[in-house]
């Protein structure tokens, strides 16, 4: 499919400066996407929970460009400080979108963005950041041209998000989302994610996800590099088949509300992801000694108390602890008393399944 629109150009004399602001959450993959092909397409399907507190707040300010050029004019600040690296990455993203939004080269953009969590620490900051930016752009399209219907709006935002960061396409929907073709999930495909919130058992609609910040440092190997290394991983083919089967199984588990089956697959997926990293060529290791120490404490706690507390990991050392709302008081006491010692500066983020992005008022 393509969203190419060469007709989306502006009569610049009719454009007045403006701004749009969106807050978009991160997401945590329950079945992991690892490995890609083509133009940011996944080698295997995945399913995720959308978070609530871990999010990016992005304001997109625009005005007519004083001097036209072949490229784009973009400046980005992160947490109030101009960031050259992110400005360049965003400019490249905008240039990729010129066939879809040719008007981007007619405007100058100033982007202000901030995260509610440490950047590049394994909490999918690119997912929240790129989805927030994509939502601003689709919103801008509606403001400058013709607004899209609600379903079409988020579908297009998911498509654009994917071009910036694969997993970002899942963040534009609340509850849970699937990316990639999955039998039994209507409209599921590789181009954009689809929501499956209507399939969630009530148990999972209020699920908690507390994120233990084992390390706030940037990852030694980026997710982009990790995906590339899957091309030579000797276990890649078997992994893609496994993930396809597991995604379908996880969707069914979420429908049934089977907490034990959910946890077993959740932890297996986390360890499989890091096993793939360790079996890459060259191999690399993102988990830390404290990551393993916490995993052992969680498993011991679960054996002793029969509490359905399970962990997962993204491409980093930080642990996501997932559990039902009914067990929140007991689990949070366990975290405070036994696990914060292993966290960087004793930090953790108390999060839960969220309702998705929201459009905010612009701060002048």
Q: Which pLDDT tens digit goes with each residue over 334-355?
A: 999 999 999 988 889 999 999 9
**Dihedral through CA 310, CA 354, CA 27, CA 122, nearest 10?**
-70
Please give the pLDDT value at position 364: 74
Q: How many CA atoms lie within 13 A of 344 on its CB side?
A: 18
For the cut 60, the answer to whether the pLDDT of residue 120 exceeds it is no
E-strand stretches of 191-254: 194-195, 208-212
Please give the pLDDT value at position 218: 73
For the cut 60, the answer to whether the pLDDT of residue 68 exceeds it is yes
Please give the pLDDT value at position 117: 78
Rounded mean pLDDT of the chain? 94
Please give the pLDDT value at position 285: 94
Please give the pLDDT value at position 119: 59
Mean local confidence (pLDDT), 138-158: 97
Compute CA distances 239 → 215, 247, 273, 337, whole Å: 28, 12, 9, 37
Please give the pLDDT value at position 363: 84
Please give the pLDDT value at position 1: 74
Please give the pLDDT value at position 70: 76
| CA dist., res. 196 & res. 202, Å (int) | 13
Sign of torsion, CA 249 156 118 315?
A: positive
Q: Mind listing the domains of the chain with CATH numbers?
A: 12-199 (3.30.230.10), 202-352 (3.30.70.890)
For the cut 70, the answer to whether the pLDDT of residue 14 exceeds it is yes
**Using one digit for the tens of pLDDT, what is the confidence trace for 262-313?**
999 999 999 999 999 999 999 999 999 999 999 999 999 999 999 999 999 9
Measure CA 59 to chain center.
Answer: 18
Considering only residues 122 and 288, tell me which one the structure prediction assigns the higher pLDDT: 288
Give ∠ CA 360-363-364 in degrees, rounded to 5: 140
């Amino acid at each position: 499919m393509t969203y190419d629109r060469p007709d989306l150009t502006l009569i610049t004399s009719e454009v007045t400066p403006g701004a749009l602001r969106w807050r978009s959450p991160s997401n945590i993959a329950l079945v992991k996407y690892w490995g890609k092909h083509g133009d940011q397409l996944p080698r295997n399907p995945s399913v995720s929970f959308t978070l609530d507190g871990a999010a990016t707040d992005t304001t997109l300010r625009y005005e007519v460009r004083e001097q036209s050029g072949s490229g784009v004019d973009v400046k980005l600040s992160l947490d109030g400080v101009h960031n050259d690296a992110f400005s360049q990455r965003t400019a490249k993203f905008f240039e990729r979108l010129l066939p879809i939004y040719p008007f981007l080269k007619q405007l100058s953009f100033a982007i202000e963005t901030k995260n509610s969590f440490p950047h590049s620490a394994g909490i999918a900051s690119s997912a929240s950041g790129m989805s927030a930016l994509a939502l601003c752009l689709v919103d801008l399209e509606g403001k400058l041209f013709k607004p899209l219907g609600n379903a079409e709006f988020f579908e297009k935002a998911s498509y654009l998000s994917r071009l910036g960061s694969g997993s970002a396409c899942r963040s534009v929907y609340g509850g849970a989302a699937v990316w990639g073709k999955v039998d039994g999930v209507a409209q599921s495909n590789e181009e954009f994610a689809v929501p499956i919130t209507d399939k969630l058992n009530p148990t999972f609609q209020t699920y908690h996800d507390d994120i233990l910040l084992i390390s706030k440092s940037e990852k030694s190997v980026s997710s982009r590099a990790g995906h590339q290394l899957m091309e030579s991983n000797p276990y890649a083919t078997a992994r893609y088949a496994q993930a396809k089967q597991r995604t379908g199984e996880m969707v069914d588990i979420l429908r049934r509300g089977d907490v034990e089956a959910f946890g077993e697959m959740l932890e297996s997926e986390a360890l499989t992801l890091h096993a793939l990293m360790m079996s890459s060529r060259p191999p690399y290791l993102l988990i830390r000694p404290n990551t393993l120490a916490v995993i052992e404490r969680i498993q011991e706690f679960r054996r002793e108390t029969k509490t359905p507390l399970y962990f997962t990991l993204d491409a980093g050392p930080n642990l996501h602890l997932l559990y039902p709302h009914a067990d929140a008081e007991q689990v949070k006491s366990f975290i405070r008393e036994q696990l914060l010692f292993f966290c960087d500066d004793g930090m953790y983020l108390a999060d839960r399944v969220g309702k998705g992005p929201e459009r905010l008022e612009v701060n002048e």
